Amino acid sequence: MQWLAGVLVALFATVIVAFFTWEYFLYYHGYMIDTYASNLYPCFYDTSNVSLSPYPNNSWEALISNYDRFRDPTRHVIFVPYYWQGLCNRILNSVSVLLFAIATNRTLWIEWEPMNITEISSNEFGGIEGMHDLVNCSVSMEKPHTLEADYWPRPYCVTRIMQFSNLHTLSDLPVIHVNRHDFWGTHLMKNLRYKDTVFKDLDVYKGFPVLFRKLFALKAHVKPKRCSWFFQYRTVWPAPFHTASFDKYMKCANDSGFSPSDYATSHVISDNPSAIMKSSSPITRGILAQMNLPKSRLTCRGKCGDKKAMETMYELSECRHAVVSLGSSFGACIAGLANVQYWYRVGHDGTCRRVKHGLVDANCNARDGCLNTYLANL
């Protein structure tokens, strides 16, 4: 029996090593893997040109106003989220779909209905609060006669289609359904057919807060808090990922200009507030005691948490700096709404990196980003 026990121990050790080696491999080489793998996965789209005139006196407000007035009610682009898509995943895709609607003059519809709490992974649960129960949508939306899509691009191809395709060749299709779990609006605005025409002189990061507020105006006004820095600390991950100690987040901020004068106006948010102190040294705990920490020790995702999460985004919408967890989109939504200029991501090994394309690849656990980062850098 000793030999059997030895075999079981060796097998268990092999599984544990492979488990953490895979995390290491994804973290350090995910960018390269994803980029090379994209060449093995063909995406087909029309690369012809289209003649469009530059929009005069362009601004985000004028662009949205004209869209509301002149959108085509006979052609739609829709978004129907999956049950496992978290709040920020839905927001990032919704804002991107609105950009697509503006670029192609389609009427927008988001079928964001309430869903009960459901297990979405071995340690995560999610649900959805209905969009119209949560916010007052201030962009004209109109439901099509059917939600059956005439064209539904493969999720893996969406980013490349938006950046390189002539989207006007889809004009004969009444209903298009686009569903991703991240932000591809950056890539649409890099598309050479629309960059210097529809989106001439516009910056996607300045536009994101405008589009966010147009789509997701809270039913009750939330007053922004004074905020110099916010820290987003995610601890619940699907295997095999994990989170560095909060000391690493503090070091990242300290190395980037965080000072004692910022303590009173800095905020910490987390899916597990009790883990913040547990993973901190006495020195970090002393600093945390001077900052704004979560009042509740328990958090909730889905229907019971969407309202509070949205309120938190608006409360922190005037923050100027951010330190967020690599691979977690929630911090990206807050930083995007606040148009944070100095934004850092901390990996599971504690590595701190300033973000160049902050909204892009918000769910990617690779330190250098994934395919969307590669395309954004072209």
pTM of the model: 0.90
Count the domains in the chain: 2
Predicted local confidence at residue 133, as pLDDT: 82
Predicted local confidence at residue 328, as pLDDT: 92
Read off the tokens for 213: 């507020």
pLDDT, one tens digit per residue, over 81-112 is 987 788 999 999 999 999 999 999 999 999 98
Residues 87 and 122 in one domain: yes
Residues 84 and 202 in one domain: yes
Residues 208 and 262 in one domain: no
Predicted local confidence at residue 124, as pLDDT: 56
Which of 161, 192, 218 terminates a domain? The answer is: 218
Pairing label, strands 321-325, 352-354: unpaired
With respect to residue 255, please indicate whether it lies within any of the assigned structural domains.
yes
**HSE-up (13 A, CA, CB side) for residue 229:** 26
Residues 175 and 243 in one domain: no
Which of 218, 238, 263 terminates a domain? The answer is: 218
Residues 351 and 243 in one domain: yes
Residues 119 and 263 in one domain: no
How many angstroms separate the CA atoms of 194 and 354, rounded? Answer: 28
pLDDT category of residue 13 using cuts at 50, 70 and 90: very low
The DSSP code for 378 is -
Residues 273 and 354 in one domain: yes
- Mean predicted confidence (pLDDT) in 342-347: 94
With respect to residue 325, please indicate whether it lies within any of the assigned structural domains.
yes
How many angstroms separate the CA atoms of 341 and 343, rounded? Answer: 6
Residues 83 and 142 in one domain: yes
Predicted local confidence at residue 114, as pLDDT: 74
Predicted local confidence at residue 9, as pLDDT: 44
- Mean predicted confidence (pLDDT) in 191-211: 96
Determine what percent of the chain falls in helix, strand and coil, rounding each to the nearest 5: 40, 15, 45
What is the share, in percent, of the chain residues with pLDDT greater than 90? 65
With respect to residue 203, please indicate whether it lies within any of the assigned structural domains.
yes
- Asked whether 268 and 231 are in contact (CB, 8 A), the reply is yes
Which of 197, 218, 239 terminates a domain? The answer is: 218
Residues 293 and 316 in one domain: yes
Predicted local confidence at residue 334, as pLDDT: 97
Taking all residues of the chain, what is their mean pLDDT, rounded to a whole number? 88
pLDDT, one tens digit per residue, over 238-263 is 777 789 999 999 999 999 999 999 99
With respect to residue 25, please indicate whether it lies within any of the assigned structural domains.
no
Residues 337 and 370 in one domain: yes
Predicted local confidence at residue 38, as pLDDT: 75
With respect to residue 369, please indicate whether it lies within any of the assigned structural domains.
yes
- Mean predicted confidence (pLDDT) in 280-309: 82
With respect to residue 249, please indicate whether it lies within any of the assigned structural domains.
yes
pLDDT, one tens digit per residue, over 26-62 is 788 777 877 777 777 889 999 999 999 988 888 999 9
Residue 330 has pLDDT above 60, yes or no: yes
- Asked whether 60 and 206 are in contact (CB, 8 A), the reply is yes
Predicted local confidence at residue 139, as pLDDT: 87
With respect to residue 7, please indicate whether it lies within any of the assigned structural domains.
no
With respect to residue 28, please indicate whether it lies within any of the assigned structural domains.
no
Residues 212 and 241 in one domain: no
Predicted local confidence at residue 162, as pLDDT: 98
Residues 257 and 202 in one domain: no
Residue 79 lies in domain: 60-218
